[in-house]
Amino acid sequence: MHVIITGGAGFIGSNLAEKMLTMGYTVTIVDNFEPFYPKHIKLQNIAAFYKHPNLYFKEIDILNVADLYTQLTHTYDAIIHLAAKAGVRASIQNPVGFQEINVKGTQNLLEFAKFKQINQFIFASSSSVYGINDKFPWCEEDAVLHPISPYASTKVSCELLGHVYSHLYRIRFIALRFFTVYGPKQRPDLAIHAFSKKIIQQQPIQLFGNGSTERDYTYVSDIVDGILASLHYQKSWYEVINLGNCHTVSLSTMLATLENTLCQKAIVEYLPEQPGDVPKTFANIQKAQQLLNYQPKVAFEEGIQLFKNWLLQTTTA
């Protein structure tokens, strides 16, 4: 199979691309190095396999329709669409930019899939679509009519767009709702990465709220396994599927785990809760288990140890 991975130089995309290349796939990475975080970090993400004979790299902005059609000229079997502007708080500051890249960019890729007759489209959705929902764990059948951030609203919009293209053009659209992914190559702005660096450097951590918020942290290799399983799913034309760990960890417990793993205490500054943040995320993964044979393997404490090992290697390299 020849698969396009948009956002393939990012956190999840680079982990996915590396695994797929070892499995014999041909991979085309599409990434525009959007300056949300430094380009050199993304280049480090793909450095180990950049010269692999089955890898093609295309520096393309998914809003640039002409480049999509003129540079992506092979025959492709699937698109795994991970590229997006990410972050709940950042989306509140720039809602128009998030709408343009996330929704219009996704529609551009769906149009490209229609033109190229690519009938397998995997979309990276988000647990944020559930908004504030007190019925735990969250299930795919739960209503997602009330997102509380522009970022979440773009992901809901893209899921609906996928349904339209699936219905009209027989593009199999699988929206995978990721739950708080962490692990090697994690974006430097995300909590586990940012907190770890500040603990090591003995810099203050800004902690929003009282530490009681909970997240369903999911290790990146488990997410990669779920994506790979969805790539071969054929039983229906449209599905929305949670990919989580089915286990919640409080913010205070996450911080304590980092302190224990790094053998250093954190300096904490407590700040008010931020608008757009939800108090808890918790995935029901029964559908993923049934349709994809998905089973998360990495417990939180083990994942933090693996992340620490990667972080110290990259820091000392």
256-276 pLDDT, tens digit per residue, is: 999 999 999 999 998 888 877
Decide if 269 is inside a domain. Answer: no
Decide if 135 is inside a domain. Answer: yes
Rounded (5°) CA angle 150-167-131: 25
Decide if 21 is inside a domain. Answer: yes
pLDDT > 60? residue 317: no
Residue 57 corresponds to which tokens in the numbers above?
């790299």
217 is catalytic: no
pLDDT > 90? residue 315: no
Decide if 273 is inside a domain. Answer: no
What pLDDT was estimated at residue 316?
59
Q: Tokens 């809602």 map to which residue?
A: 95
List, for residues 16-64, the tens digit of each pLDDT value: 999 999 999 999 999 999 888 889 999 999 999 999 999 999 999 999 9
Judge contact between 3 and 116, C-beta under 8 A: no
Judge contact between 132 and 146, C-beta under 8 A: yes
Q: Would the pTM count as exceeding 0.85?
A: yes
- For residue 278, name the pLDDT band (cuts at 50, 70, 90): confident
Provide CB contacts within 8 A for 44, sequence distance 6+.
314
Judge contact between 234 and 192, C-beta under 8 A: no
CATH number at residue 58: 3.40.50.720
Q: Which structural domain range is residue 113 located in?
A: 2-183+218-244+282-297
Residue 206 corresponds to which tokens in the numbers above?
């800004």
CA neighbor of 282 nearest in space, from 232, 234, 230, 247: 247
Q: Which residues lie across from 267 on neighbouring strands?
A: 204
Active-site pick, 151, 165, 182, 219: 151
Mean pLDDT of 277-287: 93
How many structural domains is the chain composed of? 1
Average pLDDT score, the chain: 95
Q: Which residues lie across from 183 on neighbouring strands?
A: none
- For residue 248, name the pLDDT band (cuts at 50, 70, 90): very high
What pLDDT was estimated at residue 87?
87
- For residue 159, name the pLDDT band (cuts at 50, 70, 90): very high
Decide if 268 is inside a domain. Answer: no
